[in-house]
């Protein structure tokens, strides 16, 4: 459990209890629920966030992750696409879009999304790891090793 997210979630809940309302508060609670393994609660929280701010990239991306985890890949892609329309350089949406495509077995599309993340921010370990995994699966060991090394240089604990 990420202690800083737990603390932020407690702060968000206190703010909501005092009458504050914002997409950011609900998104924080959504991410905390996801981290806690409660996809249903996370989906509710991201739904509240989207009710307040329908084009909020963070809430759209959070909802996409919930949908992916529930196997609703088409709807997850649609939420990622909406987040990207709202903020074309939002790497979390591109990364989630890659995860969704990979979940559905569309590896060329997943790789393109991971590459877009790297184009925006070369220090994204998860995107490098995603490409490394695809390349290892496809037998391109040189590119796979290069991306794996890059992922580990950014995040030495990346599985």
Give SS3 for 83.
helix
Q: DSSP code of 124?
A: -
Whether the Cβ atoms of residue 96 and residue 61 lie closer than 8 Å to each other: yes
Q: Measured between alpha carbons, how far is 46 from 41 in angstroms, rounded to an integer?
A: 9
Q: Is the pLDDT of residue 1 over 80?
A: no
Question: Which candidate, 87, 66, 84, 88, places its Cα nearest to that of 75?
Answer: 66
In which band, very low, low, confident or very high, does the pLDDT at 159 lie, cut at 50, 70 and 90?
A: confident
Mean pLDDT across the stretch 45-74?
98
pLDDT band at 100 (very low <50, low <70, confident <90, very high): very high
């Amino acid at each position: 459990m990420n202690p800083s997210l737990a603390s932020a979630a407690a702060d968000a809940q206190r703010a909501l209890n005092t009458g504050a309302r914002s997409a950011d508060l609900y998104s924080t609670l959504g991410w905390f629920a996801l981290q806690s393994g409660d996809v249903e609660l996370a989906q509710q929280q991201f739904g509240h966030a989207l009710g307040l701010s329908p084009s909020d990239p963070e809430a759209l991306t959070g909802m996409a992750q919930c949908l992916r985890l529930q196997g609703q890949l088409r709807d997850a892609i649609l939420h990622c696409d909406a987040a990207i329309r709202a903020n074309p350089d939002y790497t979390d949406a591109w990364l989630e879009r890659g995860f969704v495509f990979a979940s559905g077995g569309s590896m060329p599309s997943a790789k393109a999304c991971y590459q877009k993340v790297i184009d925006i921010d070369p220090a994204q370990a998860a995107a490098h790891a995603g490409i490394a995994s695809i390349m290892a699966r496809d037998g391109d060991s040189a590119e796979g090793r290069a991306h794996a090394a890059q992922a580990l240089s950014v995040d030495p604990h990346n599985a």
